[in-house]
Chain A
Amino acid sequence: MSFTDFSFLVFIAAIAILCRLCPRQSRSLLLLGASYLFYLTWSARGAVLLAVVTGLTFAAGMGIERARKSQTHAWLTPLAIILLAGYLLAFKIALLGPSRGIAGLVMPLGISYTTFKLISYVLDVHWGKMDASMRLADFAAYVAFFPQILAGPIQRPGDYFSQLPPVPARTADALPRIAWGLVKKLLIADNLAPAVNYVYAHLTALHGAPLWVGFYLFPLQMYADFSGLTDIAIGTGRLFGITGPENFNRPFTATSIGDFWRRWHMSLTNWLADYVFMPLRMATRTAGNLGLAFSISVNMIAIGLWHGLTWSYLAFGVVHSLYLTVDAFTSRARAKFFKRRRKWDSAASWMGWLLTFHLVTIGLVFFRAAHISDALWLLGHLFSGLGASGALFWALVESAGARTLAIGLAGYAVLELGERYRPDLWLGRISQGQRGVRWSVWGGVTVLLIFALALLLAHSGTPRSPFLYEIY
């Protein structure tokens, strides 16, 4: 069951109704049951494995808390971390083999997300940021919480447990977010996907114009797809009274690489900042800039390899560690430079935005390409035979479908405008006004929701691209 299946909407509607009907104290149990039911539609073996790992971590958490209070068994935390990291690593390595090893037999869904949740739980209990959970049902529901299992966001245990027992948000606060996520995925990402897939499938036969199309479109597709998935996850979570953390904040308006990472996949970035970067930075603070560069590099390479143990993801991490290191080392000098030349300020923010977008896009070429050589081919042939690549460009447009591409691009423009002007906020303000205005707003929103649902149904017979982040 994927988030864009009609059956998923029926499923969440049923759980939302049950959630409102059952006593508050039993809602965690309901969410646990629903999560495992969802998980079973993907993999029964994966569900069993998840239950085992959850049970062991729950026991470890209680042991760690006792050890913290009695200052004994200090080895328990490192052991738990090593085992959890090993568990994640084992599956990531198994995926590299031609037969996919154990991953071919039992690949736990969203393993990267659930493992990071478990690790943060162990560390937070160890550091005394929170007490170990005493209710296995609450803990297991947190780990397996199905709206977040496919692709996050990675919610911290403290944040999740503070919302228990869950009190469902108003349906009107949750549904528009889900609808917006579906629009991003079905209307934008899926319409940009054919052009991107075409370019990356025929890389070495292309040069010039079509490569530019692939170069610029993949970041847009990626953002629409991934943030759409996150919107559905957050909206669905709200239906059950669990608000997940935001994962994106208009990342392509960032004016520096540091700014970009504060806006892109924020739950992963913050997780790594808290559990990898900060401890490393503390440990290397005496080493000055070298320590900073080291901490940044380890952090960014970890982000890259979190997606998979491939050279392309490693290259993605290395490229971004270089960007961030240069950004960090030059930030003071740049600030001083622009302080003295105030007139350049507005130009600098424009230039910063343009440069950041292109640097990010270059990084994402490595992320999307199957091999580093493919990424280098794309980047190396952007200008070659540019004038003579018209026929190749039109072949790409014909293959992807001009209308499909136009819908994807127009949809992306709507996405940027929508997130810039936040109609959800002003709709909220308007709906507090007079009754006629309120009814009008809700009438329009209801029509839009019915439309979104019908559109989803109408397209349910046609094959769809899977979410890009479902594989992690």
Chain B
Amino acid sequence: MRFIRDLTLAALASLAVILALEAGLRLARDRYEASFYQPDWERGYALRPNAEGWDVMESEVYIRVNSGGLRDRERIVPRPRQTLRVAALGSSEAAAFEVPLEETFEAEIERNLAPLIARRGNHVEVLNFGVPGYSLSQQYLTLKNYVWKYDPQIVVLVWNQYNLLRNTEETNPDGPQAPFYVLRDGRLAPADPAFRMPSLRTFSQRNIAIRGRLADWMNDSYLLSMLRKANVELQNQINGLSATLRRHFGPAPTAPSRRPRDYLQWWPYLPDLPDMQENWKIGEAFLREMKQDCDRHGAELELVIVDEDMQSHPNAAVRKAFMRLKGLASLDASDERLEQISEANGIPVLALAPLLGEYASAHGVALHGIGANNEGHWNKLGNQLAGQMIAGQLRVHSPTVQAWSAGSR
């Protein structure tokens, strides 16, 4: 009996310390990255429906995932009447975790198109299908299997050139998180039809749901979020240590890795690089398949090429110095190649780099990241300008938008 009493006392004391630490972290607003993802049988991973918490990677933003698994407000399935729907598809730029929902470029497109089509009670919705880190294969599968139930009339594909690297296993910098596709007889085919994320091999759908609820619960606690971050860092430390040991004591690699070193610094996706020819071909095939899919569903496909932070750096001297350092004749070579591919496939395209670069230079403002060094994803102004430019493109080039604004719908 006394043993139980002492044990209870010790448990209560420990609990009091835990609560005090939770309160301390909240008071100090010491926030850690929440978990927004869950394993996905088809795409590797996806946003977890109803997940919410803080994203602290670049700025501190409270993120809410809706019940449909989109970083968006609740949307009705299928499309309500008198509604023009645009689906924004892409990776981190489209998800725009760096700004609150009302400051994303999707919200800006809505604001810009709304007055055009507001007659007779029509309204516009721009749905955010962006998921950070998504490769073209994951975006393709999202379009094919998840977008059409929302019945959008326009699909805006927000293209980040780095995604080309994720087209093949050899150049993919992020490990096995997504299914790969290869070209067979000029058509896309899954490289591994039985693709499963490593974590999915041991978890059933029920376990995924339980883990999701656990992750939701952890998101609510600053202390548990911190412990989760500590666990991730511990894994990183262990992986780093084992990599070092392998390097020193393991067998010598049989073939040199094709994975580019410092891939974020060296623009390894440039179209004239020999290693990237296959990646570009697969990228073009994805674009073609997505166009055909949109055609089948009677939707328009618009391509928007995201600017690299260096392309829209406010200081022209910095841009020139970067070009000299990397031996680049132009910062726009990849964008130009993609524009040619799009036009050849009949896809309207908007390259944002020249427009955003011009604005940044003229006003001396950074459109990426926090602070003046212009590094990272679009900030509030970057999202705002991108939204205005995409809305402008749709207004001028989209027959659907023109029809809705002319009042014929």
Contact = CB atoms under 8 A, between A and B. Distances in A.
B29 A458 contact: no
Given A440-B10, A458-B233, A460-B237, A447 B226 contact: no
B234 A440 contact: no
A461 B237 CA distance: 10
B233 A457 contact: yes
A322 interface: no
B385 to A, nearest CB: 24
Interface residues of B, number: 29
Contact of A439 (B9, B32, B229, B241): B9
Contacts of A102: none
B328 interface: no
Contact of B226 (A410, A439, A442, A458): A458
A461 B16 CA distance: 29
Nearest to B9: A436
A446 interface: yes
Contacts of B5: 436
Nearest to A6: B237
A458 B230 contact: yes
Contact of B28 (A10, A407, A447, A457): A407
Contacts of A447: 14, 17-18, 21
A454 B13 contact: no
Nearest to B33: A458
A444 B13 contact: yes
Residue among B11, B28, B223, B231 with max Cβ neighbours from chain A (10 Å): B28
B370 to A, nearest CB: 12
Nearest to A445: B17
A447 B13 CA distance: 10
Interface in B1-52: 2, 5-7, 9-14, 16-18, 21, 28-30, 32
A403 B29 contact: yes
A6 B21 CA distance: 21
Contacts of A451: 21, 223
A406 B30 CA distance: 12
Contact of B233 (A6, A406, A440, A441): A6
Nearest to A447: B17
Contacts of A406: 28
A13 B29 CA distance: 31
Q: Is the interface of B mostly helix, strand, loop or mixed?
A: helix
A69 interface: no
B67 interface: no
A428 interface: no
B399 to A, nearest CB: 48
A443 interface: yes
A410 B233 CA distance: 27
B230 A454 contact: yes
Contacts of A410: 28
Nearest to B227: A454
Nearest to A437: B9
Contacts of A454: 226-227, 230
Contacts of B32: 458
Contacts of B21: 447-448, 451
B342 to A, nearest CB: 38
B390 to A, nearest CB: 32
B373 interface: no
Residue among A7, A407, A436 with max Cβ neighbours from chain B (10 Å): A436
A441 B13 contact: yes
Nearest to A403: B29
Contacts of A403: 28-29
Nearest to A455: B226
Contacts of A439: 6-7, 9-10, 13
23 contacts: A6-B237, A10-B237, A407-B30, A410-B28, A435-B2, A435-B6, A436-B9, A439-B6, A439-B9, A439-B13, A440-B10, A444-B14, A446-B14, A447-B17, A447-B21, A453-B230, A457-B229, A457-B230, A457-B231, A457-B233, A458-B226, A460-B237, A461-B236
Among all A-B residue pairs, the 4 with the closest Cβ atoms: A440-B13, A439-B10, A436-B6, A454-B230
Interface of B: 2, 5-7, 9-14, 16-18, 21, 28-30, 32, 223, 226-227, 229-231, 233-234, 236-237, 241
Given A454-B226, A457-B233, A458-B227, 7 more contacts: A10-B237, A435-B2, A441-B13, A443-B11, A458-B230, A458-B233, A461-B233
